[in-house]
Amino acid sequence: MAKFENNGLPTGIGIFGGTFDPVHFGHLRIALEVCQQLNLDHVRLVPCHVPPHRSQPTTDGKARRLLLELAVKSCPSLIVDDIELNRAGPSYSIDTVRALREDYPQQSLYLIVGSDNFRQLDTWRDWQSLLQYAHIVVVRRAGEALDLSTTMAAWLQTHLAKSADINLTEGKVWTLDVTPLAISATTIRAQRAAGGSVQFLLPETVLTAMDQLGLYPTDR
Ligand code: ATP
């Protein structure tokens, strides 16, 4: 707990959920850059168990978690959190932020979402309650405009953070620019399946483990 000091401000913790099927440099740069820009203590990478809004991951949670652990090994500010893998049923973000708020009652919590996911936030379970427990940080994917529905644009305007809101522990929406990296797990899976190389799209340690464990094999 001694690390939780931030010049008198409530220290912040990032929560970055995803399928991570597999983890790649797009995820890792986002997590690190949000951590640095908001001066967070750390970011928790949360692999989901059952994604409620998309197809099931192609690889089981244990393997996705192992690859994440290897990916963040050399970066102390990124931590893998099992919370959703250990929870039965669909991995709703509201359950995750509520549980982490109980674990960290004093800290600022920041739920990090890509702009593609933020666009559909109003389809998430209990989405308006997310701000009772955490801030939301929207990061733009490479080359993408936010391009929100009228509902989401109005909601964003109402809750958009101002710089003084850094004092708050939850309740605001931050939009951050991060280094655009047009990498997706879908492309990585497709290239592996086609027998292509995915070197330099994800950490070498992750690639080595994928090869050794026969994960994401070629279908040729
Ligand atoms: P898939 O291609 O299988 O849909 P993905 O690469 O989008 O996977 P996820 O694990 O589904 O990865 O994404 C987790 C979060 O990271 C989401 O909020 C997503 O918007 C964001 N994200 C993933 N890749 C990038 C990227 N290259 N740039 C910005 N955000 C990203």
pLDDT at 53: 79
pLDDT higher than 60, residue 3: no
Ligand 1 atom index nearest CA of 184: 6
| pLDDT tens digits along 145-164 | 788 999 999 999 999 999 88
pLDDT surpassing 90 at residue 131:
yes
CATH number of 13-210: 3.40.50.620
Residue ranges per domain, the chain?
13-210
What pLDDT does residue 142 have? 60
The pLDDT of 165-172, averaged and rounded, is: 92
> Which DSSP letter does residue 160 get?
B
pLDDT of 77 > 70? The answer is yes
Structure token digits, residue 2: 């001694």
Indicate which atom in ligand 1 lies nearest the CA of residue 57.
3
Q: Is the pLDDT of residue 5 over 90?
A: no
184 CA distance to ligand 1 centroid (A)?
6
Q: Does the beta carbon of 22 lie inside 6 Å of ligand 1?
A: no
Tens-place pLDDT, residues 29-57: 999 999 999 999 999 999 999 888 778 88
Beta pairing, strands 173-176 & 135-139: parallel
Q: Is 120 in the pocket of ligand 1 (CB under 6 A)?
A: no
Q: Check residue 51 and give its pLDDT.
A: 82
pLDDT of 141 reads 65
Residue nearest to atom 13 of ligand 1 (CA): 18
Lowest mean pLDDT among 23-37, 172-186, 189-203: 172-186
Complex ipTM tops 0.90: yes
196 token code pair? 């292509």
Average pLDDT over residues 72-90: 96
Nearest CA to ligand 1 atom 29: 141
Verdict on whether the full-model pTM lies above 0.90: yes
| pLDDT for the residue numbered 2 | 38
- Whether ligand 1 lies within 6 angstroms of the CB of 113 is answered as yes
Q: Looking at this protein, which amino acid is placed at residue 37?
A: Q
The whole-number pLDDT of residue 143 equals 64
Residues 6+ apart with CB under 8 A from 172: 131, 135, 136, 159, 160, 161, 165
Q: Which atom of ligand 1 is nearest to the CA of 25?
A: 27
CB of 184 sitting under 6 A from ligand 1: yes
